[in-house]
Amino acid sequence: MNSKNISILLFFPILFFNTRCNQNGNGSAGALGTSYAAEKVYVAPGEKDKYYAFMSGGYSGQVSVYGLPSGRLFRVIPVFSQDPEKGYGYNEETKPMLMTTFGFIPWDDAHHPKLSQTKGIHDGKFLFINGNNTPRVARIDLTTFETTEIIQIPNSGGCHASPYPTENTEYLVAGTRFSVPIPQEDVPISSYKENFKGTFTFISGGQEPGKMDIAFQILVPGYDYDLAHSGKGISHGWSFFTSYNVEEDHTLLEKTASQYDKDYIAAVNWKKAEEYIAEGKFREMPAEYYHNFYTDRTHSATSEVKKSVKVLIPEDCPGMVYYLPTPKSPHGVDVSPTGEYIVGSGKLSADLTVHSFEKMLQAIEEEKFDQVIDGIPVLNYEAILAGVVQQPGLGPLHTEFDGRGNAYTTFFISSEVVKWSLSTYEVLDRQPSYYSVGHLMIPGGGSAKPWENGEYLVALNKITKDRYLPTGPELAHSAQLYDISGDKMQLLLDFPTIGEPHYAQAIPASVIENNQVQAFPLEENEHPYAATRESETKVERQGTEVHVYMTTIRSHFAPDNIEGIRTGDKVYFHVTNLEQDWDVPHGFAVMGNTNAELLIMPGQTETLIWEPKMVGVFPFYCSDFCSALHQEMQGYIRVSPSSANVKLTWALGDEVFEE
């Protein structure tokens, strides 16, 4: 086993090139008729897609929303990134969303979108996604498709194994990717083994907007924790985390972290952890972190800085964490729809390992422990093994399920999706992916209920060499849609994606399309600078700060002429969109503004700061083509020297107002 693994490791690059060469020129829909594929993905003009698909934007820090089966892009939702199209992260209302203890961070590396769950089934209320770089977890509200909450994870060196909610979204989880000194301190890197630790974080409040909080953290040995999955059905109450670098090395990990035959999947009994918290068996540890929350009441976000977390230590809390030995450097850990099978994808293993939850419980009961590491019993491998899929492919990463007893695993190196049986562990089918697939996604395929018993599968690929028109040094990222309703998978469609599409979720459109917010009622607008009718518009000077209470409606701003601004002023344009109809946003931009436009939804108020540096008269205008008179939707603002005493006035038509 060991020598085989090492040879796989050594031939990594060669295999990689071979598979890619073999596949070149074999890029059509394979044996399948093109007209069959076209029919399966064709959504006629005026028709709607059957599914929403939410794809991670990877290092764009965003989420993108597609329709399936068409592969059409509907929307890009900024999460950890600023977005000039929507003003997110540029307007004053959303800037607090990107605050962290490291300051304002307008970027992250977003990996795993996960839908909220009720009884293990995707309920279509919220989408969560993790920021891998500066550890954070975000909530997107699926009635507005806006990011409404971000919580920072302290005591973490990177948030990759996240957010993977529990069955009823009691918790979102976050395993630290890189172990670090906890609490942080100035120590030699060579003291890794003594000083570096990992944490598993359990975030509560997933079903309650504004209430996300760190319920508790568990301090664990200093491995790298890669991915997670929470139990469901019979394994409800448990969460699982893969680890690599059990060797606890800190340099040249491509070699050093692959020495041992097995790493671990950590199994966390979070119900037990709750008991220990209730009994007070935790340590309160100082740890600063931000909790940022955006509400549609004020159309504004606020940041709250939290100061401490409850930390549980496995040595003090028997029965809370176990290690399941798993070959070799497992990446994904995926739990079958019933909750019984825990699939560990050992990246460098020749076989795919499937653990049994029931056998795990039995091994715990019978104390079949090979050793105990920092209070964490390591269960006996044979005692917990459900089965092994032998030589299914090279470089397994992720698995999803169709609800018909089959599992589908991606293989990065051999660049394929492999279907296998959860009862016989036999390979049933394999299809090439073009190329180097990471995650795959079956709508509902990670939940207790794959929709329609597994109709489609989307492969999220890393490389698209020769699949699309080239676009300079970097080529399009790619998803591929397969029909999995029959015995054999059939490739239907290629479509490009944004950023690096790590993972995705899909849900029948019917679950969310009727819950959409169409406009925010003006009478409920509690923004402190809102003007909810034109008669409330005004301009106020407070020293060098000027607040413009402005409204917008087809097809004018009120006011649209402003005088008495001076260089050195800081002008706040608080713009309220008075429209109450669906899909009538207005934009706002003023010449020389050093941020982005505002894009204000019906009934919403947004604020843009403008600091005029030059004397003159400057136009402002609506940037969203909103009516036949959109081009007329403009105004002027006069800027005088800082020493001038031009009176502050504002006007609309013949009416001129002054302070």
Using an 8 Å Cβ cutoff, are 131 and 198 in contact? Answer: no
Nearer to ligand CUA, 169 or 604 (CB): 604
Q: State the nearest-atom distance from the C-beta of 502 to ligand K7E, in Å.
A: 4
- For residue 415, say if its preceding peptide bond is cis, omega within 30 degrees of 0: no
**Residue 306: which of ligand K7E, ligand CUA, none does it interact with, CB under 5 to 8 A by kind?**
none
13-14-20 Cα angle (round to 5): 90
Using an 8 Å Cβ cutoff, are 620 and 590 in contact? Answer: yes
User: Which residues of this protein are in contact with ligand CUA, per CB under 6 A?
Assistant: 586, 622, 624-626, 630, 633
**Residue 331: which of ligand CUA, ligand K7E, none does it interact with, CB under 5 to 8 A by kind?**
ligand K7E
Count the Cβ atoms, other than its own, within 10 Å of residue 213.
Answer: 16
**Residue 506: which of ligand K7E, ligand CUA, none does it interact with, CB under 5 to 8 A by kind?**
none
SS3 assignment for 497-518: ECCCCCCEEEEEHHHHHHHCCC
Q: Give the residue from 434, 427, 438, 441 showing the smallest Cα distance to 484.
A: 441
Sites for ligand K7E among residues 428-447 (CB under 6 A) = 438-439
Using an 8 Å Cβ cutoff, are 574 and 527 in contact? Answer: yes
Is residue 501 a contact residue for ligand K7E (CB under 6 A)? no
Q: State the nearest-atom distance from the C-beta of 629 to ligand CUA, in Å.
A: 8
**Residue 624: which of ligand CUA, ligand K7E, none does it interact with, CB under 5 to 8 A by kind?**
ligand CUA
Is residue 347 a contact residue for ligand K7E (CB under 6 A)? no
Q: State the nearest-atom distance from the C-beta of 573 to ligand CUA, in Å.
A: 14
Beta bridge partners of 267: 240, 322
Nearer to ligand CUA, 91 or 329 (CB): 91
Is residue 160 a contact residue for ligand K7E (CB under 6 A)? yes
Is residue 503 a contact residue for ligand K7E (CB under 6 A)? yes
Nearer to ligand CUA, 162 or 551 (CB): 551
**Residue 178: which of ligand CUA, ligand K7E, none does it interact with, CB under 5 to 8 A by kind?**
none
Is residue 136 a contact residue for ligand K7E (CB under 6 A)? no
**Residue 136: which of ligand K7E, ligand CUA, none does it interact with, CB under 5 to 8 A by kind?**
none
Nearer to ligand CUA, 511 or 622 (CB): 622
Using an 8 Å Cβ cutoff, are 365 and 300 in contact? Answer: no
Is residue 177 a contact residue for ligand K7E (CB under 6 A)? no
Element (H, E) at 637: strand 634-640
First to last CA, the chain: 82
Measured on CA atoms in the order 317, 321, 323, 329, is the torsion positive or negative?
negative
Nearer to ligand K7E, 264 or 610 (CB): 264
**Residue 419: which of ligand K7E, ligand CUA, none does it interact with, CB under 5 to 8 A by kind?**
none
- Judged by DSSP in three states, 609 sits in strand
Is residue 229 a contact residue for ligand K7E (CB under 6 A)? no
**Residue 310: which of ligand CUA, ligand K7E, none does it interact with, CB under 5 to 8 A by kind?**
none
Is residue 112 a contact residue for ligand K7E (CB under 6 A)? yes
Q: State the nearest-atom distance from the C-beta of 509 to ligand CUA, in Å.
A: 29
Q: State the nearest-atom distance from the C-beta of 345 to ligand K7E, in Å.
A: 9
CA 453 – CA 532 distance, rounded (Å): 49
Is residue 111 a contact residue for ligand K7E (CB under 6 A)? yes
Strands (DSSP E) along 469-615, which ranges? Answer: 477-483, 490-497, 504-508, 538-542, 545-553, 556-558, 561-566, 570-577, 586-590, 598-600, 605-610
**Residue 430: which of ligand K7E, ligand CUA, none does it interact with, CB under 5 to 8 A by kind?**
none
Around 127, how many Cα atoms within 13 Å sit in the side-chain half-sphere? Answer: 30
Nearer to ligand CUA, 567 or 634 (CB): 634
Nearer to ligand CUA, 83 or 579 (CB): 579
Nearer to ligand CUA, 324 or 598 (CB): 598
Using an 8 Å Cβ cutoff, are 481 and 458 in contact? Answer: yes
Q: Give the residue from 56, 141, 164, 152 showing the smallest Cα distance to 103.
A: 152
Nearer to ligand K7E, 289 or 411 (CB): 411
Residue in the shown chain whose Cβ atom is closest to ligand K7E: 438
- Judged by DSSP in three states, 258 sits in coil
By CB under 6 A, how many residues form the interface with ligand K7E?
11
For residue 52, CA distances in Å to 129, 186, 223, 226, 561 come to 16, 47, 36, 27, 44
Q: State the nearest-atom distance from the C-beta of 406 to ligand K7E, in Å.
A: 21
**Residue 502: which of ligand CUA, ligand K7E, none does it interact with, CB under 5 to 8 A by kind?**
ligand K7E
Give the CA-trace dihedral at 628, 90, 570, 555, to 10 degrees.
Answer: 10
Q: What does 405-463 look like in DSSP terms, one character per residue? A: SEEEEEETTTTEEEEEETTT--EEEEEE-TT-EEEEE-TTTTSS--GGGS-EEEEEES-
Q: Which residues bind ligand K7E (CB under 6 A)?
A: 111-112, 160, 227, 331, 397-398, 438-439, 502-503
